[in-house]
């Protein structure tokens, strides 16, 4: 292994972690990390004292360019846009440094958080990710974004407030989370509307991402009764004769379900919960976003 190859292997996960948090797509993250590496190879590196910092800055700037380029496409996306779901192997690749002070956010790659990050401006998202997930100092963020430290503090503060408002957090154990998800899956499989409704908070919100490729709600679904009706209607219309299979796994670091019909993955689902009921549901059905998972389960 050459010195250059060793350097890439050492920092690749870190660069991918930044890019995926910025873009929410693995292929796009891989492209950005590769382009950052190609740029490294084209510069005089003899005077670069910190290769990791240089590569990180290049990755953030490339991610910002990529995010700005896709924002118009995502704004015209058919229905809610959700990030590409990932399995534990990819989670390990994308792990942040997890400093003790911010270990919770550093390890948080949930669909719920990434969905909230979509509502930030590109620069707010970059500053927030660098500071709260990767423990970067404000002077480093300022140099990366070509802004003053004061401006970066404001970016992080605004982003943090938006995340706090849009994604309330509850102290819930992994076991509680998994148990609630399994019970909901069982009630759904049995088409038991009463049990399903009992497991949903009255003000639950469901986001379903079909991307115009498959059936999904065009807008978020608000309220337990509407969510139950939508799920049961989908089952009746498209999957009455299908042989169902449900796999409990981890999706983006949280308990999640992989749903199959006749052996083919047709959806991935995760939920947010207050420990007693489901407060939000995220279902990715766009086949383009399920290719990576389908390939992993086909091996």
Q: From start to end of the chain, where are the E strands?
A: 200-209, 221-222, 244-251, 254-261, 264-273, 278-284
Domain boundary among 142, 165, 188: 165
Q: Are residues 148 and 114 in the same domain?
A: yes
CATH number at residue 267: 3.10.450.50
96 has pLDDT over 70:
no
Q: Are residues 158 and 199 in the same domain?
A: no
Which residue, among 94, 29, 33, has the nearest Cα to 67 in the 3D structure? 29
pLDDT for the residue numbered 299: 66
Q: Are residues 128 and 15 in the same domain?
A: yes
Q: Are residues 16 and 142 in the same domain?
A: yes
Q: Are residues 115 and 140 in the same domain?
A: yes
pLDDT for the residue numbered 261: 85
Distances (CA, A) of 210 to 135, 155, 256, 286, 290: 35, 32, 18, 4, 11
> What is the pLDDT of the chain when averaged over all its residues?
89
User: What percent of the chain has pLDDT above 90?
Assistant: 64
Q: What number is the average pLDDT over the span 162-178?
A: 86
Range of the domain at 198: 174-298
User: pLDDT tens digits, residue range 99-133?
Assistant: 434 444 546 889 999 999 999 999 999 999 999 88
Left, alpha or beta for 229 (phi > 0: left; psi -120 to 50: alpha)? alpha
Q: What number is the average pLDDT over the span 42-59?
A: 88
| Side-chain half-sphere exposure of 144, counting CA atoms within 13 A | 29
Domain boundary among 127, 144, 165: 165
Q: Are residues 27 and 117 in the same domain?
A: yes
Q: Are residues 150 and 180 in the same domain?
A: no
Q: Are residues 37 and 117 in the same domain?
A: yes
66 has pLDDT over 70:
yes
pLDDT for the residue numbered 3: 66
Domain boundary among 133, 165, 197: 165
pLDDT for the residue numbered 100: 39
User: pLDDT tens digits, residue range 245-289?
Assistant: 889 999 998 999 999 888 889 999 999 999 899 999 999 999 999
Q: What number is the average pLDDT over the span 32-57?
A: 89
Q: Are residues 17 and 77 in the same domain?
A: yes
- Whole-angstrom distance, CA of residue 30 vs CA of residue 27: 5
CATH number at residue 155: 1.20.140.160
Q: Are residues 140 and 207 in the same domain?
A: no
pLDDT for the residue numbered 107: 64
pLDDT for the residue numbered 212: 93
Q: Are residues 161 and 193 in the same domain?
A: no
Q: Are residues 194 and 156 in the same domain?
A: no
Domain tally, the chain: 2
Total-model pTM: 0.91
């Amino acid at each position: 292994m050459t010195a250059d190859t060793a350097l890439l292997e050492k920092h690749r996960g870190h660069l991918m972690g930044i890019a995926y948090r910025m873009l929410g797509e693995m292929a796009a993250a891989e492209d950005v990390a590769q382009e950052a590496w190609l740029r490294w190879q084209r510069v005089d590196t003899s005077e670069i004292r910190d290769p990791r910092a240089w590569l990180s800055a290049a990755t953030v700037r490339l991610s910002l360019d990529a995010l700005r380029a896709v924002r118009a496409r995502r704004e015209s996306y058919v229905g809610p846009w959700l990030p590409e779901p990932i399995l534990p192997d990819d989670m390990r690749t994308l792990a942040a440094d997890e400093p003790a002070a911010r270990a919770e956010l550093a390890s948080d790659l949930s669909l719920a958080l990434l969905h909230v990050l979509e509502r930030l401006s590109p620069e707010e998202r970059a500053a927030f990710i660098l500071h709260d997930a990767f423990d970067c100092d404000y002077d480093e963020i300022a140099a990366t974004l070509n802004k003053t430290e004061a401006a970066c503090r404001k970016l992080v503060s605004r982003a943090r407030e938006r995340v706090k408002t849009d994604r309330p957090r509850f102290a819930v154990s992994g076991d509680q989370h998994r148990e609630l998800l399994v019970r909901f899956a069982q009630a759904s499989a049995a088409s038991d509307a009463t049990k399903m409704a009992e497991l949903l908070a009255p003000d639950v919100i469901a986001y379903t991402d079909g991307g115009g490729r498959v059936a999904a709600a065009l807008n978020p679904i608000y309220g337990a009764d509407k969510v139950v009706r939508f799920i049961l209607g989908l089952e009746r219309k498209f999957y009455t004769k299908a042989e169902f299979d449900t796999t409990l796994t981890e999706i983006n670091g949280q308990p999640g379900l992989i749903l199959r019909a006749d052996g083919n993955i047709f959806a991935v689902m995760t939920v947010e919960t207050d420990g007693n009921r489901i407060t939000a549901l995220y279902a990715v059905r766009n086949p383009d976003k399920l290719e990576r998972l389908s390939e992993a389960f086909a091996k």
